[in-house]
Structure 1
Amino acid sequence: MPSKRRFGRVRKLPSGRWQARYLGPDGIDRPAPETFSNKTDATIWLADQEAELRVGDWRDPAAGETLLGEYASTWIEERPGLRPRTVELYESLLRLHIAPSLGRLPLREVTAPRVRTWRADLLAADVGPVTVAKAYRLLKAVMATAADDDIIRRNPCRIPGAGVEPIAERPTATLPEVFALADAVGERYRALVLVATFTGLRFGEAMGLRRKHIDLEARTLRVEVVVTEIGGQQVEGPPKSGAGVRTVTLPAAVVPDLRRHLDDFAQPGQEGRVFVGPKGATPRRSNWHVLWSKATIKVGVEGLHFHDLRHTGNTMAAATGASLRELMTRMGHGSTRAALIYQHASQDRDRAIADALDVVLDKHHQAAKQARTPNRSGTQRARNAQTKRGDGRPSAGTNR
Structure 2
Amino acid sequence: MAEAKKGKKPRRDFGSIRELPSGKFQASYIGRTGIRQTAPAPFKTDRDADRWLNKVEADLSSGAWQDEALGKVPFRQYAEDYLDENEEVGERWAETCRRNMRLHMVDLLDMPLKTITPPIVRKWYSKARKGKGGKTSIAQSYRFLRAVMNAAVRDEAIVKNPCQIPGAGADKASERPIATPDQVAKLIEAITPRYRAVVAVAAWCTLRRGEVCALRTADIDTEHKEVWVRKNWVELLESPKKFEKDPKTQAGKREVSVPPHVWPLLIAHADEFAGPEFFFIGKDGNRMRGNAIYQAFVRAREKVGLTLTFHDLRHTGQSLAAASGASTVDLMKRAGHSTAVAAQRYIHAVEGRDKEVAKALSEIAENGSAARLPKTIKID
TM-score, length-scaled by structure 1: 0.77
Specify whether residues 78 and 311 from structure 1 end up closer, same or farther in structure 2 by C-alpha distance, changes over 3 A only.
same
RMSD: 3.1
Match of 1:287 among 292, 298, 321: 292
Match of 1:79 among 77, 81, 86: 86
Match for 2:131: what amino acid?
Answer: A
CA distance in 2, matches of 1:207, 1:122: 36
CA distance in 1, matches of 2:90, 2:53: 47
CA distance in 2, matches of 1:139, 1:366: 46
Q: Give secondary structure in 2 for the equivalent of 1:307.
A: helix
Specify whether residues 63 and 307 from structure 1 end up closer, same or farther in structure 2 by C-alpha distance, changes over 3 A only.
closer
Distance apart, 1:300 and its partner CA: 2.1
- Report the equivalent of 2:329: 325
Alpha-carbon displacement from aligned partner over 1:101-140 (angstroms, at most 9, x marks no partner): 1121111111111111111111111211111111111111
Distance apart, 1:34 and its partner CA: 11
Q: Within 5 Å, give how 1:166-245 maps onto structure 2.
A: 166-230=172-236, 231-245=239-253
- Report the equivalent of 2:144: 138
CA contact (8 A) 2:202 2:313 kept: yes
Q: Give secondary structure in 2 for the equivalent of 1:177.
A: helix
Specify whether residues 332 and 32 from structure 1 end up closer, same or farther in structure 2 by C-alpha distance, changes over 3 A only.
same
CA distance in 1, matches of 2:42, 2:183: 68
Match of 2:71 among 53, 64, 71: 64
Residues 1:310 and 2:314 are matched in the alignment:
yes
Match for 1:308: what amino acid?
Answer: D
Q: Give secondary structure in 1 for the equivalent of 2:96.
A: helix
Q: Give secondary structure in 1 for the equivalent of 2:255.
A: strand
Match for 1:69: what amino acid?
Answer: R
CA distance in 1, matches of 2:267, 2:222: 7
Q: Give secondary structure in 1 for the equivalent of 2:68.
A: coil
CA distance in 1, matches of 2:317, 2:325: 13
Structure 2 residues without counterparts, runs of 5 or longer: 1-8, 18-23, 374-380
- Report the equivalent of 1:14: none
Specify whether residues 191 and 34 from structure 1 end up closer, same or farther in structure 2 by C-alpha distance, changes over 3 A only.
farther
Q: Give secondary structure in 1 for the equivalent of 2:233.
A: strand
Specify whether residues 56 and 159 from structure 1 end up closer, same or farther in structure 2 by C-alpha distance, changes over 3 A only.
closer
CA contact (8 A) 1:20 1:43 kept: no
Distance apart, 1:327 and its partner CA: 0.4
- Report the equivalent of 2:281: 276
Residues 1:30 and 2:34 are matched in the alignment:
no
- Report the equivalent of 1:297: 302
CA contact (8 A) 2:71 2:113 kept: yes
Distance apart, 1:297 and its partner CA: 1.8
CA contact (8 A) 2:195 2:293 kept: no
Specify whether residues 93 and 55 from structure 1 end up closer, same or farther in structure 2 by C-alpha distance, changes over 3 A only.
same
TM-score, length-scaled by structure 2: 0.81
CA distance in 1, matches of 2:43, 2:316: 62
- Report the equivalent of 1:383: none
CA distance in 1, matches of 2:344, 2:157: 33
CA contact (8 A) 1:20 1:46 kept: no
Q: Give secondary structure in 2 for the equivalent of 1:334.
A: coil
Q: Give secondary structure in 1 for the equivalent of 2:123.
A: helix
- Report the equivalent of 1:254: 262
Match for 2:316: what amino acid?
Answer: T
CA contact (8 A) 2:207 2:335 kept: yes
CA distance in 2, matches of 1:333, 1:341: 12
CA contact (8 A) 2:187 2:300 kept: yes
CA distance in 2, matches of 1:109, 1:366: 59
CA distance in 2, matches of 1:67, 1:295: 48
Specify whether residues 196 and 115 from structure 1 end up closer, same or farther in structure 2 by C-alpha distance, changes over 3 A only.
same
Alpha-carbon displacement from aligned partner over 1:27-76 (angstroms, at most 9, x marks no partner): 666267999xxxxx999978644532554643332221111111111111
Match for 2:283: what amino acid?
Answer: P
Q: Which structure is larger by alpha-carbon Rg, 1 or 2?
A: 1
Q: Give secondary structure in 2 for the equivalent of 1:144.
A: helix
Q: Percent identity?
A: 38
User: Which structure has more RCO (C-alpha within 8 Å, separation ≥ 6)?
Assistant: 2
Specify whether residues 355 and 62 from structure 1 end up closer, same or farther in structure 2 by C-alpha distance, changes over 3 A only.
same
- Report the equivalent of 1:267: 275
